[in-house]
A and B are shown apart, each in its own frame.
Chain A
Amino acid sequence: MSIGDRRVKRLTSLLIWFLTMVVAVIWLIPLIWMLLTSFKHESMAITLPPRWLPIPFTLENYLKVLTDSLIPRWFLNTTIVAFIVTFGVVIIDSLAAYGLARIDFKGKNLVFWVIVSGLMIPDQVLIIPLYFLFNNLNLLNSFPALILPRLALPLGVFILKQFFEGLPLELEEAAQIDGCSRLKMYWYIVMPLSKPAIAAVAVFTFIATWNAFLWPLIVANTEEMYTIPVGIANFQGVHGTEYAMLMAGSMVASLPMLVAFLFLQKQIIKGIAMSGIKG
């Protein structure tokens, strides 16, 4: 390679680095602006020209959000729903996936294809009949309404089944000779070996549930039952021009995702890549 070539190469990589840097700054600005606005007095948030730094610095917006708004309540609701759904999906989906991966039974292929077809059903087809179903059950505006429809996740079965099928059979065969039941094999052999796949399913179930918007918007009709996404939309409607407070609310509401992201970035990205879900 000649010196000229090398120089062109170095220039190109410098250019790429520079461009990526520019995009990264653009991508960071909305987040930084949210953070900085949240520490301003309301009147200081709407100055011309806009001032970047929150001087004087205040925590009054956070105080208002935590004491005067229902955001803590929505936070609690969403946490309850997301944890129960994630736990439920992992158990229910892995049971089904084990049945499909390891046990021969009549109609197995049909069952599998019915489940896989569920991957293609968008929420908007389900919301109207589900609304009437929960109305008839007298369960509108309740935790079961927020939780139950999300408990059977076809994508989870699909991913776990693929993973289970890749595990060696020998361990289970040995266990079977020792008289071990299917349920024990599932719980003591297959599940511990499947931690990466379970983590992926848990991660995307949790994120998807935490961020779900359409169904909670329809089924939660009192402020006390809102989840974070519906609550923040409502908060925006009520406090439309109190930008500093809106930003403080958004900061608080996005905290768990930020913490999760800081600690679980690798697993999250792997889970998203594996599932190919799109918000």
Chain B
Amino acid sequence: MIFMRKNVNIAGYLFIFPFGVIYTLFLIYPIFQGFFISLHDWDILGSKIFVGGKNYNNLLVDPKFWSSLWHTAYFALLTTPVLLALGLGLAMALNKGFRGRDIFRAIFFYPYMLTTSIVAVIWIWLYQPLFGLINFYLNKLGLPAHAWLAEAKWAMPAIAGATIWWTVGFNMILFLAGLQEIPDELHEAAQIDGASSIQRFYCITLPLLRRTVLLATMLQMIASFKVFGQVYIMTGGGPYGTTRVLVQYIYETGFQWYRMGPASAMAYIGFCIMLVFSLIQFKLFTRAD
């Protein structure tokens, strides 16, 4: 019996082993190594001088770092409300009894399948100042044209617009899943009691979707701290650094200016901020199952 037990134990480790090796090498080790690098002056060749917390201290007084955090937050502020409202609206419209429901779902979800670069390339063309569709139709409506991606005021909203087009389908799917958990009986009962559809939305749908709304918010916060591809391709962080988000700054510092220490320190600070959102998200996720 004791022998059996031991055998069973070893089997457990063997099943974990392949995952464990790869996970340790490419996730656990880099996390510690990254922190180690953040405590050094470290160039692209890997030559290093220990500097302690200097990289962190420097970041706290680096206006570019603070502005990149602000741009990240600004991106989150521009995208999150629209993604939530539109995602929920589309989910409710397409939840049931809607003619052509599957086709509409496919239309809203398909852009999410595209890779960042393709989304960026399509939208650069739409935003094109002289021949772009957007300026042409704005002009027709009597509205002023803009060099969307080249004007400090418009570059980030333009990136946010492209991102909303890209990912609203994902939010729609999240909300559809949430809506399907609400039992029909609740709505029926309320209807019999004479509740209007607006009352039912505020008193049934919204409270029962609270978890999904919070989850979608947290996921978008996390995604904002990871946003990079669209920015890198559409504006490169410009004009004048007005769209330089956190990951863009990490990339520039590390792989264009070869200052690995500060870049790692930045990644760590960003990670700590994200951790808060991640923990909330994780709590929501585990409670679901």
Contact = CB atoms under 8 A, between A and B. Distances in A.
Interface of A: 12, 16-17, 19-20, 23-24, 27-31, 33-34, 37, 45-50, 91-93, 95-96, 98-100, 103-106, 108, 111, 114-116, 118-133, 135-136, 148-149, 151-152, 154, 157, 162, 182, 186, 207, 210-211, 213-214, 217-218, 228-233, 235-236, 243, 246-247, 249-250, 253-254, 257-258, 260-261, 265, 268-269, 272-273, 276, 278-279
Interface in B12-69: 12-16, 18-20, 22-23, 25-31, 33-34, 37, 46
A183 B182 CA distance: 41
A231 B133 CA distance: 25
B76 interface: no
B116 A229 contact: yes
B106 interface: yes
A146 to B, nearest CB: 12
A162 B8 contact: no
B117 interface: yes
9 contacts: A96-B15, A96-B16, A99-B15, A105-B10, A111-B20, A125-B30, A148-B25, A213-B116, A236-B124
Contact of A12 (B116, B131, B197, B275): B197
B11 to A, nearest CB: 5
B27 A121 contact: yes
Interface string B106-120: 111111111111101
B16 to A, nearest CB: 5
A249 B131 CA distance: 19
Given A20-B94, A45-B131, A152-B26, A126 B106 contact: no
Nearest to A136: B46
Contacts of A228: 115, 117
Contacts of A133: 25-26, 29-30, 33
Given A105-B13, A246-B125, A250-B122, A236 B116 contact: no
A33 B126 contact: yes
B30 A129 contact: yes
B14 to A, nearest CB: 8
Given A105-B12, A276-B215, A30 B126 contact: yes
Contacts of B111: 27, 30-31
Interface in B85-118: 86, 90, 93-94, 98-99, 104-118
A119 B282 contact: yes
Interface in B209-252: 215, 219-220, 222-223, 225-226, 228-229, 232-233, 246-247, 250-251
Residue among B14, B19, B279 with the most chain A CB within 10 A?
B19
Contacts of A48: 130-131, 136
A265 B30 contact: no
Contact of B19 (A23, A31, A92, A132): A92
A62 to B, nearest CB: 16
A58 to B, nearest CB: 17
B174 interface: yes
Contacts of B128: 243
Contact of A214 (B10, B31, B229): B229
B201 to A, nearest CB: 12
Contacts of B255: 131, 218
Contacts of B148: none
A130 B260 CA distance: 12
A254 B114 contact: yes
**Chain B: interface secondary structure?**
helix
A37 B133 CA distance: 11
B12 A103 contact: yes
A252 B81 CA distance: 33
Contacts of B225: 122
A261 B285 contact: no
B75 interface: no
Contacts of B15: 95-96, 98-100, 103, 182, 186
A52 B28 CA distance: 52
Nearest to A12: B197
Given A92-B22, A276-B215, A17 B223 contact: no
B115 A211 contact: yes
B12 A108 contact: yes
A278 B223 contact: yes
| Across the A-B interface, the 3 shortest Cβ-Cβ residue pairs | A99-B15, A105-B12, A96-B19
B125 A104 contact: no
Contacts of B94: 20
A237 to B, nearest CB: 8
Contacts of B270: 122, 124-125
A152 B23 contact: yes
A126 B31 contact: yes
A105 B173 contact: no
Given A157-B19, A233-B232, A250-B118, A99 B12 contact: yes
A24 B89 CA distance: 13
B190 interface: no
Interface in B240-289: 246-247, 250-251, 254-255, 260, 263-264, 267-268, 270-271, 274-275, 278-279, 281-282, 285, 289
